Structure 1
Amino acid sequence: MGLFGNRLSGLRTQSQSVMSPAEAFAAITLVSVGVDGYFSDEEVSTLISSLTRMHMFRSYSADVLRRMFDKLLGTAQREGFGSLLQTAIASLPHELGETVFAVATDLVLADGEVTREEENLLNSLYTALGISEATAIKIIDVMMIKNRG
């Protein structure tokens, strides 16, 4: 059934925490990298590199991002990745939905393989973020082209 089970059916988390837009964005991308149950140093470096190129994260040093990820991983260990993801989705401003989906898709496709868990996550994510299927398909197509070479 995967790491998330049916937890994505309700977007509101049972936790009372609310994340900043940057934390929510980072949490969603972190889950997309770790949905297969493993975080390699290369994946984390790629994730940090992807985020630091974004306007929202320009003022964040690599050290600050790593501390943020440590905090998010601590939350995931206590509450589960499903709860972390739900909190992040509920906290993310709507206008960042397509952007975070594009970055998550890029990170999933970067290694040239898509696991069942990664595919399930992306399928659940576009719906939970309120992205149309047509837009999600366009984003996936572009990211597949980007990651060909």
Structure 2
Amino acid sequence: MNLKIEFARKMALAYTAVCRPLCQEMKLPQTAFDILMFLYNNPEYKTARDIVEIRNIKANLVSVNVEKLVQDGYIERQAVEKDRRKTELICTQKALPVQKRGRGLQQEFAERLMMGLSDEDQKKLAIYFSQMEKNLDQIIKGDER
């Protein structure tokens, strides 16, 4: 099997192209939009560190964009009671319309990505990706076959 490295790059470029009009309309950098969408789609993750580790955005970019989002009223910082050094990022009501529209764009992107694949092929693809994710987890843990 020969997965081309170009696939991941093209997917990222296409996703950015789909999101660009909304980002321009809302005057949000792509990274700020990505942070809002990450928080919306993954409510179990709430810290800048989570965004750095899970979304794989560089720490300095997360820091700058979180600050912009705070200043623009899209998110608030909230200290965690058990550990005051830890700060959670809480989306405000102002963020919700952007996030809902962004979710629609993500859905549209997924549908366009799957164009030309039958329902059966899409189901198979989901099974294949699920298995590959399990395999990746085992590789990361260092498990032998």
- Scaled by the length of structure 2, the TM-score of the pair is 0.39
- Scaled by the length of structure 1, the TM-score of the pair is 0.39
**Relative contact order: is structure 1 or structure 2 higher (C-alpha 8 Å, sep ≥ 6)?**
1
Q: Flag the structure with larger Rg.
A: 2
**Greater fraction of residues in strand:** 2
